[in-house]
């Protein structure tokens, strides 16, 4: 997808707020529900749905209603979020032309306020040309679920970390400026890819420097794994610069020797075809100790002295395990050297010492068994005495509880009898009052009152 930076001018604050809401929802959703986007963005008066239509028009989001109504970020929307963050940080102010396209990244020119031009690399894993990332890269490590945007972010972080560390150790790499999401900003290398170079003034010198870089990386504990003419930059003065570092592995990787030999073989093939250089064939039957090690000899993984540094440990390169980390720490402390020196001296003394140690261990074991037996017998006697004491105490407590229970029962009987008497007296008194009241009520509306009314009427007539 083409990066059209002009759209950034017309995006408002609400647009970026909704984009970040979709990004936050994609942490645990493949397709973020529209209700969740509205809840995270929390725009007033239901403005989220209006913004979503605008972002869909510019292809910053993708709408999916197969299972439920939801959205997900596209690479263009992820690019805009990264570029907006870099501009807010003041890393660069303008984005220029595209200067490179790879199987897993795009490279653009960017400029600062003072006019200095830098390179911006946008990782785009998941293209149709390179979809076997999960099996060929170690970005996921122990994770099972993955997203292409998340994989691109991991690749950018790894490349930025390796670039920083290699620059600090004096390797010819671009200057790493900043990193955000899947975007890495670095200094622009004033040169050309080696694959575009047709002639060199000193091809032998360039060839030796490139092989020296491979060996030097291995001495620091790293292997490039993609060291070919496409990832080597050379300027007019024939100065070499390395690029592209996300796939680097440790020398402790199980396939480290294969990767090392492959990098060396790529350089030999390219210089042999392009610059017609001839090399002496390496005979596998001849021992390395019998051959003089000259500068023209082919470097091998076993002949590399891997003690110059431990960048694989510092950067957690793939293939570096905890066991190997412990061994390296022991080597640094000097334990391995002491063990190696002590193995060749005094083997007989070590045998006598081992026999003495075994006899002393047996004696100590017998003493421990006797002590355990005596302690167990004492503990059994103490338990019997304690059980007898507890039985006596329990019997005395039971007799006391029985006496107390009898007294309590007598008191309860007296209380219940008194309550019954009071209830009977109260019921008798209530019955008398009720009868009286009923008779009086009947007299009020009875026959006597009716007869008196009839007599009054007769008298009036």
121's enclosing H/E stretch is: strand 117-123
Tokens of 308: 């110059």
Catalytic residue among 138, 178, 226, 261: 226
The span from the first CA to the last CA of the chain, in angstroms, equals 119
Give the SS3 label for residue 76.
helix
Tokens of 190: 């004033």
Asked whether the beta carbons of 198 and 219 are under 8 A apart, the reply is no
Concerning whether 226 is annotated as a catalytic residue, the answer is: yes
Tokens of 47: 């403005």
Residue 89 to residues 85, 92, 112, 424, Cα–Cα distance (Å): 6, 8, 12, 94
Whole-angstrom distance, CA of residue 104 vs CA of residue 102: 5
Phi, psi of 120 (to 5 degrees): -115, 120
Q: Scanning the structure block, which residue is given the tokens 């936050």? A: 24
106: region left, alpha or beta (phi > 0 left; psi from -120 to 50 alpha) = beta
Whole-angstrom distance, CA of residue 87 vs CA of residue 152: 20
Whole-angstrom distance, CA of residue 182 vs CA of residue 155: 7
Asked whether the beta carbons of 13 and 54 are under 8 A apart, the reply is no
Q: Which residues pair with 107 in a beta bridge?
A: 100, 121
Phi, psi of 373 (to 5 degrees): -65, -45
Q: Scanning the structure block, which residue is given the tokens 């020797």? A: 257
For the chain, the C-alpha Rg in angstroms (whole number) is 46
Write down the H helix ranges in 58-125: 75-89
Asked whether the beta carbons of 181 and 268 are under 8 A apart, the reply is no
Burial readout 200-233 (b: 16 or more C-beta within 10 A, e: otherwise): beebeebbebbbebbbbbbbbbbbbbbbbbbbbb
Pairing relationship of beta strands 94-101 and 183-187 according to DSSP bridges: unpaired
Active site residues: 226
């Amino acid at each position: 997808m083409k990066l059209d930076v002009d759209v950034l001018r017309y995006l408002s604050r609400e647009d970026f707020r909704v984009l970040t809401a979709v990004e936050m929802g994609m942490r645990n959703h493949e397709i973020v529900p529209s209700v969740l986007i509205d809840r995270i963005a929390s725009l007033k008066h239901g403005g989220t749905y209006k913004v979503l239509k605008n972002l869909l028009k510019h292809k910053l989001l993708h709408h999916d209603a197969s299972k439920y109504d939801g959205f997900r970020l596209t690479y263009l929307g992820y690019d805009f979020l990264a570029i907006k963050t870099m501009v807010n940080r003041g890393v660069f102010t303008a984005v220029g032309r595209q200067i490179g396209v790879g199987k897993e990244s795009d490279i653009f020119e960017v400029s600062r306020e003072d006019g200095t031009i830098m390179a911006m690399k946008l990782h785009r894993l998941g293209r149709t040309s390179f979809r076997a990332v999960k099996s060929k890269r170690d970005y996921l490590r122990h994770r099972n679920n993955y997203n292409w945007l998340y994989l691109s972010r991991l690749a950018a972080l790894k490349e930025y970390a390796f670039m920083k560390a290699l620059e600090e150790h004096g390797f010819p790499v671009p200057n790493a400026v900043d990193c955000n999401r899947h975007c890495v900003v670095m200094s622009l290398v004033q040169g050309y890819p080696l694959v575009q170079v047709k002639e060199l003034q000193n091809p032998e010198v360039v060839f030796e420097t490139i092989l020296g870089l491979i060996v030097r990386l291995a001495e620091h504990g790293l292997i490039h794994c993609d060291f070919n003419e496409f990832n080597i930059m050379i300027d007019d003065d024939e100065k070499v610069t390395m690029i592209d570092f996300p796939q680097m592995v440790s020398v402790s990787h199980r396939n480290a020797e294969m990767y090392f030999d492959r990098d060396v073989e790529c350089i030999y093939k390219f210089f042999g075809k392009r610059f017609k250089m001839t090399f002496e064939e390496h005979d596998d039957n001849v021992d390395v100790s019998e051959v003089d090690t000259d500068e023209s000899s082919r470097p091998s993984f076993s002949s590399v002295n891997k003690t110059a540094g431990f960048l694989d440990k510092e950067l957690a390169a793939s293939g570096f395990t905890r066991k190997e980390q412990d061994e390296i720490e022991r080597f640094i402390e000097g334990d391995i050297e002491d063990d190696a020196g002590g193995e060749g001296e005094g083997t007989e003394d070590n045998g006598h010492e081992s026999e003495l140690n075994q006899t002393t261990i047996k004696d100590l074991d017998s003493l421990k068994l006797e002590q355990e037996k005596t302690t167990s017998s004492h503990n059994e006697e103490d338990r019997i005495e304690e059980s007898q004491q507890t039985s006596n105490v329990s019997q005395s407590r039971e007799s006391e509880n029985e006496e107390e229970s009898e007294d309590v029962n007598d008191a309860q009987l007296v209380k219940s009898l008194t309550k019954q008497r009071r209830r009977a007296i109260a019921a008798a008194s209530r019955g008398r009052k009720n009868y009286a009241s009923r008779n009086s009520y009947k007299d009020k509306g009875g026959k006597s009152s009716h007869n008196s009314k009839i007599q009054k009427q007769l008298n009036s007539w």
